[in-house]
Structure 1
Amino acid sequence: MKEVKYNINFCVKTFLALLFIANIFNAQTLEHGIKLMEVEKYKEAKSVFESIANTNPKEASSAYFNLGKLSLIDAKVDAAKEYFQKGLNIDKENAYNYVGMGNIALLQKDSVEAQKQFEEALDMTDFKDVYVFIAVADAFINSDSKNLSKAFEWMNKAKTIKDQKKNPMLYYKIAELYVKANNGSLASENYRIAINYDDKFIPAYLGLAEVYLKIKIYNDAEANLNSAYAIDSTYALTHKEFAEFYNTVRNFGKAAASYKNYIDLSERTIPKLERYATLLYLAKGYKDAIEVIKEIQTQKEADAQLTHILAFSYYALDDFTNGIPAFEKYFKLASENELISTDYQYFGKLEVLAGNDSVAALNYIKAMKMDTSLADLHGDVAAIYFKAKKYQEAADEYALKEKLVGKLSVREHFDYGRAYMILKQYANADSVFKKFTEVKPDLPLGYLWRARANTNIDTTSELGYAKPYYEKFIEIVTAPGSDQSKYKNDLMEAYRYLGYFYYIKREDPNYKDTWRDNYKNYWEKVLTLDPENKAAKDALDNLKILK
């Protein structure tokens, strides 16, 4: 029986694990190719194996097998099958190419043919080569096959092989099978056995970390990752698993940093860059996410998901120049059911920054139709209408926000009342400013504008509707510590109103004894603020002839 000189694995972790089983490689060049696969430098590995296949007839069959593995990693099943067949054409006693053909059959859901190929490989080595068993296990692990009973049967048989009972790779593969079978308990047990037989066996630590992460025992997951890192800090997949750990616990900054290390230690591929861009966005590294996506776009057209991240990143940076076209492109790429309310919300905000208010309002309305919890946006729509002098529409939107959200901001409340004032709907304005003063009783402008609304309801001032509000305004503005200079004109307005009010009440019995002093007091206050005020001077001159 011809001895096969290399280990085989279809799963990425086993590529890493092969570092610990280096003694099974007799050819340094094959070993170099495998080590490149371990760190996911697949292009370099392919170049090595192609060179061996073309220049080294003795190792060509093994090289074709590894080229087949690389094709499977790249999801190129037909190409993989061709490589395995080439390997068999060169050396029909190379058991691993039969395993490769069995893997193809499993992927094509032909379990009968798969078992035939696997048994051929195992029989060829008299069921005594543990690494052929491991290769078969890998084929099951990396397929959609749900029936793992035969795989477990073969792996149990592998444990009976002389001198292999303490092989950590064997228990690692059994653990991987249990992971596929959703049995975390037995998976953990076998990972620990692998570590017990070789406490430097990094893949087992990573496997344990994954199990703990899945069941949310985060401390143990992190502890195993730290153990792996302590053994070899340059081990690429350790950094990848750290990235997934930090992503799960929502430490996106560390997740992105770990994933960058993973890329730097392996191969810079489009799928990895796509994942990296996502983590950078989640970590609020918007500028870096944009740069990574730009790098991707030099090699392929960005898809809907990447364009989405790009648009959101520009939004986060208030970059409407690039953000608007990014959103427009995303809307073309995404299907209707992929669009979410936030898309329209963010697009609308960028349009506001660009000065396209009418477009922004339409997008805000779309967002609210998709998600009623975004009722706050009624305030944004109202502000756009107010700016465009569409005061009725503005008032309606403010009313909607108040009804749905239960409150308005100070600015919104103020503009809500002002909209009614401009529309000459003074009773509505009075109601709005009444509520404003209840919500913000310490702000003088609420009382001032309520007074103004009431001067338009009580146009002759006979009823004195505005009087208490002007008085309250004066009280707040003239209180110790208040900066009266900001309200000079408003104070003069209030003083004039009150001076006039007492003038028209001079014959009212209720004011018989007080009107003159109050009249004089308020007009003198006007003169204090504006010594040359003609109306105040005339009013005080008239006092001499008033009875």
Structure 2
Amino acid sequence: MKIISKIATASLGLVFMGSSSVFAQSLADAKKAIDAEQYQKAKSMLKNLTVTQGTKDENFFYLGWVYIKQDYADSAKTAFNKGIAVNPKSGLNYAGLGAVARLDKDKAGATTNFNQAIALAGKTAAPYTYVGKAYLLPTSTDGKISVDDASAAIAVLQKGKVVAPKDVELLITLGDAFASQIKSNEAYQAYSDASTIDPKNPAAKVATGVLWRYANNFEDSEKQFQDALAIDPNYGPAYREWAETDNRWATADPKAASAKIKQAVEEYKKYLSLTDLSPESQMRYADFLISAGQYQELQTVAADLAKTSNSNLRAYRYLAYAAYENKDYPAASTAMNTWMTKADPKRVLPRDYLYLGRIQMASGQDSVGINTLRKALSLDSTQTDVYGEIAKSLFRGKKYAQAGDAYKLVTQKGGRSVKLTDYFLEGISYYYGYDDKKPGTDSLLTKADSAFSYVIQKTPTAPYADAYLYRARVNDLKEKDRNNIVGYAKPFYEKYIELILAKGAPDDKGKKNLAESYVYLGNYYQFKEKDDAKATDSFTKARDNDPANKQVIAFFARKAGGAGKSK
């Protein structure tokens, strides 16, 4: 590939001796622009090269790859097919078609094209490299690379390494594949090998810096970006990754958060200044602003992008996200409807449905919003936080039994993000869903009791007092015969009283709950044990906490009446 580009440059130099403008149209320079993420510049060069050097299949491939990086898969496919028309044995363009098929979720098509690319690769590294890169293209909402995809990338790149052990781009891509699976030692070795072969390659330095970032070694990470910029002061990706590092640093060190976020934004602006300031590069800035949580800035950037005559529709996606986060729901709704109705359906992400559902619920359309969130989940089940959002909305709408089922899904599918409060809310939802006038709802009490029991089991050293309170309430409801009390709730009310009093003086809410607990015990002693002294003691404690409690007032009224009669 290097030989081809050198021959092309040399031949052009013979025809246009000393013409720097023609030299700037070489494939080598176009590839350098791609590496620097100057995609508009690279695209302009490559479009020209597909005309002036229309028999070279590489020109079409790299043009297609730029389209992939800019999220135009259909245009990429057209370019790759033209490359194959020019050279039916173009392994690179088959690698490109495989990448498009993979983005379109066409696994069989991707495998077929990747196999063809490798079969045609011969002794050249590029087809191996770009099949590897294709496997590393993110296809999920969270941008993570699956173990299977990373393994496939590593396998093909290691085959390529046998063919071309000193190809720097291949080694860096191999490092990226290892890094995606947090195989830091293997990734570091690949990047180190690339730097040894080409010490002046800024991409290897930047990749190493990213590796240090994920280890939260921010100082060494910065050093790598500085080394990359010492090699090439205009290497934009170094500033972009530096910005991402400062953003992560801000999360890890709250004391430095404000300064690091501001620094990150400035570094990203520097990155933009070193690209072509195209809508696509500003879209990448918008992606960064989302990850940095800078929604005010995002809304401004997205609004400006949406106003331009040649704006990418994707600007409306960002505008919707930002407006929602900034609680500007009418603007969010307008922008999201524009995006969802006008964008190619293949470009609509599960996260778009997630935000659409949130916007709908924030606009008072809870039922519609819940259905939209469920669609988002059907498209990407990894977004487990959505179960909680659905549950909260159902609870807010007083659809308690459904909310309990939704919280049950949170606890079952939330993984490491599940909290004890999710189990607690599951129990509360089922508790409020119970209605003794509706047959068949007894099962909800059993489900509620199970959820509260789980919370109690998981907090033996720091008991969750409210779990005892609600478990007491649930068990009290199980007392079907009020004239023959069993006392199911007694141990739980007693434990609640013990825990609350151990904390010191209760607040107003705690006093009401204590009164409720003492009232239950008073009734138990009065009607179950027939112990008037204990009953009176319990009702007295209830009165001390909540004199307005109706059962307390009734008890002492009866007692006063009984005393009057006895006289």
Normalising by structure 2, we get a TM-score of 0.56
Cα pair 1:239 1:258 within 8 Å, conserved? yes
2:532 aligned partner: 391
Residue 195 of structure 1 aligns with which residue?
Answer: 306
1:102 CA displacement:
1.5
Q: In structure 1, what is the equivalent of residue 409 of structure 2?
A: 292
1:20 alignment partner in structure 2: 71
Write the mapping of 1:92-491 to structure 2, written as runs, cut at 5 A: 95-106=202-213, 112-121=219-228, 127=234, 133-144=239-250, 146-147=259-260, 151=264, 154-161=267-274, 164-170=276-282, 172-173=284-285, 176=288, 180=292, 185-196=296-307, 199-202=311-314, 204-230=315-341, 231=343, 234-242=348-356, 257-266=371-380, 268-269=381-382, 272-273=383-384, 276-277=387-388, 279-280=390-391, 283-284=394-395, 285-289=402-406, 291-292=408-409, 295-296=412-413, 304-317=420-433, 319-334=444-459, 339=464, 341-354=465-478, 355=486, 356-366=488-498, 369=501, 371-375=510-514, 377=516, 378-388=518-528, 389-401=530-542, 404-409=545-550, 414=554, 417-418=557-558, 420=559, 428-429=560-561, 454-457=564-567
Q: Which residue identity is paired with 2:476?
A: V
The one-letter amino acid paired with 1:365 is I
Code of the residue aligned with 1:64 in structure 2: it is L
Cα 1:331–1:149 shift into 2, 3 Å: closer
Aligned length: 403
| CA positional deviation for 1:346 | 0.5
* Structure 2 runs not aligned, ≥5 long: 1-27, 38-67, 81-92, 100-130, 162-166, 251-256, 396-401, 435-443, 479-485
> In the TM superposition, what is the alpha-carbon distance from 1:170 to its structure 2 partner?
3.1
Deviation track 1:185-212 (CA, whole Å, cap 9, x = no partner) reads 544332333434564453x545444544
Q: Are the structure 2 counterparts of residues 252 and 83 from structure 1 closer, same or farther at C-alpha, using a change threshold of 3 Å?
A: farther
Q: Retained in 2: the 8 A contact 1:280–1:289?
A: yes
How far apart are 1:273 and its partner, in Å? 3.1
Task: Summarize the Cα distance change of 1:179–1:276 in structure 2 as closer, same or farther, 3 Å threshold.
Answer: closer
Distance 1:300 1:241, change over 3 A: closer
Distance 1:352 1:153, change over 3 A: closer
Matched, 1:64 2:189: no
The Cα shift of 1:348 comes to: 0.9
The residue number in structure 2 matching 1:424 is none
TM-score, normalising length: structure 1: 0.58
Distance 1:110 1:218, change over 3 A: same
Secondary structure of residue in 2 paired with 1:165 = coil
1:320 positional shift? 4.4
| Partner SS, residue 220 of structure 2 | helix
User: Considering only aligned residues, what root-mean-square deviation do their CA atoms show, in Å?
Assistant: 4.6
Deviations 1:112-163 (A, max 9, x none): 53333224445666726x556544443443443744676555544444557x
Compared CA separation, residues 199 and 342, structure 1 to 2 (3 A): farther
Counterpart amino acid of residue 358 in structure 1: K
State the SS of the aligned residue for 2:384: helix
In the alignment, the residues of structure 2 paired with residue 313 and residue 111 of structure 1 have an alpha-carbon distance, to the nearest angstrom, of 44
| Corresponding residue SS for 1:283 | helix
Cα pair 2:490 2:521 within 8 Å, conserved: no
1:216 counterpart SS class? coil
Q: Are 2:542 and 2:552, in contact at CA under 8 Å, matched by a contact in 1? A: no
Secondary structure at the aligned position of 2:456 is classed as helix
CA–CA distance in structure 2, aligned partners of residues 7 and 238 of structure 1:
29
* Secondary structure in 1 matching 2:234: coil
Contact kept? 1:134, 1:155, Cα under 8 Å:
yes
Q: Percent identity, please.
A: 13
Distance change >3 Å, CA 159–CA 293, structure 1 → 2: closer
Instruction: Identify if the C-alpha distance between structure 1 residues 301 and 31 changes in structure 2 by more than 3 Å, giving closer, same or farther.
Output: closer
Give unmatched runs, 5+ long, in structure 1.
9-16, 421-427, 431-452, 458-547
Displacement of 1:393 after TM fit? 3.6
Amino acid at match of 1:168: E
Contact 2:384 2:413 in 1 (8 A): yes
